[in-house]
Amino acid sequence: MNTLDQMSLFCAERNGTFSRWMKREGDTLDDLIREQAEKIRRNREIAPLLSPEDFFDRVREHVAERLGEADARRAEQAARLGAVCTADHHGGLYCAQTFQGNLLFGEILKELGNRDDIIPIMPGGQVELDSSTFARGICTYSDREKKGRLPIFPEKPCARIACCTPAITPEQLARFRNRFVRTKQPGKLEETLDDLLRSVYETEEVLGSRRFEDQTTRIGAALSRKLFRDRGPLLVYMEMETLTLPLLIREIREGTSPLARMLLDPGVRRRMNEIPLPDGSFLSQFLFRTADAHGHKILLTLTGDGRLTGKDWHGDAVALDADPEALIDMLQTGKLIPGILTIAMMTFFERGITWLGGVFQTQYLPGWQQGLTALMKMTGQEDAAETIARFDCTGYVCGPMSALFQGNGFATCAGPVEFLMGRADYPSFVRALRSTGIPDAHRIGITEMFDDLAGRDDRWDGWYRSATEALDQRYPENVIAHG
């Protein structure tokens, strides 16, 4: 068995979503695109529990504050197609897997009739900076032996979560330049990084931002305009916690939505802690998060008596009041972070905005749907139960990849740095994307999936080099950028 098939079999044994798609011999990513678009169409036919108009207004407002009115109107129109890409977090700018997932999502929007080259992405900020997609900074995969990591944030705060991270500073960029950009006899990578710093990161708009999440939106938009020789799509990153916060506060104040009842009604809260999810967890564990003074994430559980409880990094107990005014105050001051379930409830299950994610989301989101449906039935909310149960929660966009960057005798998945180095053209990327077989697309991205699913003891020496050399030999037609 060759390296790519051996790694694929390993991943298929550990992830059901990966396994199912690897069996789709004869189908291409064009088939995947059409299937995901059809899921969105079916979900749009379901009358939502709440009008999504406030979500569309919020998209326009959020983007206008960061990119201006023209791009904000375009982002709103794209969001009105009824879906958002939720496959990544801040790492989408730096990781080949999530980045190519973003571009794949853009093709799904085209299938839905999007005539504007804009891609709305709703990344989550509850990921540590040392995550596998490396939210600490730029990440390049153009190395034969291993992932070439190029961090902007220092190692010391690497356990800080992205949504609690201050803005990138000029001092951090200067350290990055001194460490990774040679001034004498620079190579192509160093020339690319130098240009990237000057034209994207060291701009007045980015350095004048208040927070890392503000910078993410501006960096993504500026990067979009440089990635391809011709015009490519505009990537619009909107941190989901910041984007949806006003909607959550309004629902808590009004107190009538299914989500508000989950948070405020003692009877519903009690039931949440009595209905186990398929994996043995409970809905109450995914509603809120908090962070300590260093930005370390603290998991919280909503109790039946209206308390948020958990333990900090030192094992000490954390307890917060969860009455309406306390929740609103903590959310407004940043002490409390809405959990992924809370955001999914607001956007997907109440307003009908389809989420398209990766192999992990396609497993936990249907489980949450099952738990929410049971909860609504048990608490007399039959209409809500029926509506939530009808949504297709299996939207899938992040996992398969189609674009490779070729070095000397090896090929790696192409991320933003590789696209900049290789000066690819967008039509070539789309042709590769649409024609690549679904199992082949998962083999092309196998280094990323293997890195996520394989523990240290499961990896053999030289696995990354073996894979990159095999990719170079097996998929030359998928190389769209050259070193």
Eight-state DSSP code of residue 141: -
How do the residues of the chain divide into helix, strand and coil, expressed in percent and rounded to 5?
A: 55, 15, 30
Domain boundary assignment for the chain: 1-272+347-483
Give the pLDDT of residue 481.
Answer: 85
CA geometry: angle 118, 170, 93, nearest 5 deg:
30
How far apart (Å, rounded) are the C-alpha atoms in residues 472 and 462? 16
Tokens linked to 370: 């099952």
Helix (H) / strand (E) containing 318? strand 317-321
How far apart (Å, rounded) are the C-alpha atoms in residues 320 and 336? 9
Amino acid at the residue 477: E
- Tell me phi and psi for residue 156, to 5 degrees: -55, -45
Cα–Cα separations (whole angstroms), residue 10 to 19, 22, 310, 347: 10, 12, 35, 35
**pLDDT per residue as tens digits for the range 396-435:** 999 999 999 999 999 999 999 999 988 888 998 999 999 9
Amino acid at the residue 367: G
* pTM, to two decimals: 0.94
Give me the tens of pLDDT residue by residue for the chain, a chain 483 residues long: 788 999 999 999 998 999 999 999 999 999 999 999 999 999 999 999 999 999 999 999 999 999 999 999 999 999 999 999 998 777 778 888 999 999 999 999 999 999 889 999 999 999 888 887 776 778 777 788 888 888 888 877 678 899 999 999 999 999 999 999 977 778 889 999 999 999 999 999 999 999 999 999 999 999 998 988 888 899 999 999 999 999 999 999 999 999 999 999 999 999 999 999 999 999 999 999 999 988 999 999 999 999 999 999 888 999 999 999 999 999 999 999 999 999 999 999 999 999 999 989 999 999 999 999 999 999 999 999 999 999 999 999 999 999 999 999 999 999 999 999 888 889 989 999 999 999 999 999 998 888 888 888 888 888 999 999 999 999 999 999 887
How far apart (Å, rounded) are the C-alpha atoms in residues 377 and 244? 26
Among 330, 331, 355, 325, which Cα is nearest to 341's?
355
Percent of the chain with pLDDT over 90: 76
How far apart (Å, rounded) are the C-alpha atoms in residues 345 and 369? 9
How far apart (Å, rounded) are the C-alpha atoms in residues 420 and 422? 6
Counting runs of H as helices and runs of E as strands, what totals does the chain give? 22, 16
Residues β-bridged to residue 396: 357
Give the pLDDT of residue 157.
Answer: 62
How far apart (Å, rounded) are the C-alpha atoms in residues 442 and 219? 28
